[in-house]
Amino acid sequence: MIDPDGYRPNVGIVLLRDDGRLFWARRINRDGWQFPQGGMRSDETPLEAMYRELQEETGLFPEHVEVLAVTRGWLRYRLPRRYLRRNERPVCIGQKQVWFLLRFLGEERHLRLDANEKPEFDVWRWVDFWYPAHNVVTFKRQVYERALRQFAPTVERACRVRLDPPLLGSSLHAKLAVLAEAG
């Protein structure tokens, strides 16, 4: 399903542990690491798509998580030219995503990357909150930063942690530095 602007509706999942660390997984047969995410079907709400993708990609069920927050509106990213499939109609130029922040309530044994007949990931780990925004593939970084920025206050309250701003070099940090100098 591609919208009239060329974006594929998608959901993203930020899975949070009580210590403020996030689930981070490596795409199977690739070097890229990312959060779980996936396309929405035409008959699904974002919440329904999120629960389906959660089960398919991590093996977790609704009882293993608690929804803490959802991003406001669609967050979009464009695909690099080399990933565009110009022979398909309509042409998908990128994804528009609704992101969900989920508190992990289960045990690590509940995480099953092989829950689906076509696994998306082969390895996972827990990482510091801002790590994904610096280490996801370049064309997704801005969306990751925007989602994490929206979720940071909720994570600080829920986990009773302080999340320092992203490290120097992040586009978000660079923008904050410019604003601080101007202010």
The answer as to whether 146 is a domain residue is yes
**Token pair recorded at residue 141:** 């970084």
CA atoms within 13 A on the CB side of 83: 10
**Token pair recorded at residue 8:** 């594929």
One-letter amino acid of 58: T
Instruction: Note whether 98 and 71 are within 8 A (CB).
Output: yes
- Spatial separation of the C-alpha atoms in residues 37 and 51, rounded to whole Å: 11
Our count of domains for the chain comes to 1
Is residue 77 classed as helix, strand or coil in its secondary structure? strand
The answer as to whether 2 is a domain residue is no
CA 143 to each of CA 55, 70, 80, 95: distance values in angstroms, whole numbers, following the listed order: 23, 14, 14, 10
pLDDT of residue 172: 52
**What's the CATH number where 47 sits?**
3.90.79.10
Distance of CA 168 to the CA centre of its chain: 21
The answer as to whether 29 is a domain residue is yes
Instruction: Note whether 161 and 168 are within 8 A (CB).
Output: no
Sign of the dihedral defined by the CA atoms of residues 21, 159, 144, 9, in that order: positive
102: containing domain? 7-182
The answer as to whether 151 is a domain residue is yes
The answer as to whether 172 is a domain residue is yes
pLDDT of residue 90: 84
Instruction: Note whether 65 and 31 are within 8 A (CB).
Output: no
- Spatial separation of the C-alpha atoms in residues 95 and 74, rounded to whole Å: 9
**93 phi, psi to nearest 5 deg:** -95, -10
User: 45: closest CA among 107, 7, 98, 92?
Assistant: 98
SS3 content of the chain, % helix, strand, coil (to 5): 35, 30, 40
Peptide bond into 4 cis (omega under 30): no
Note down pLDDT in tens along the chain; length 183 residues.
899 999 999 999 999 999 999 999 999 988 899 999 999 999 999 999 999 999 999 999 999 999 999 999 999 999 998 888 777 778 899 999 999 999 999 999 999 999 999 999 999 999 999 999 999 999 999 999 999 999 999 999 999 999 987 764 545 555 554 454 444
- Spatial separation of the C-alpha atoms in residues 104 and 66, rounded to whole Å: 7
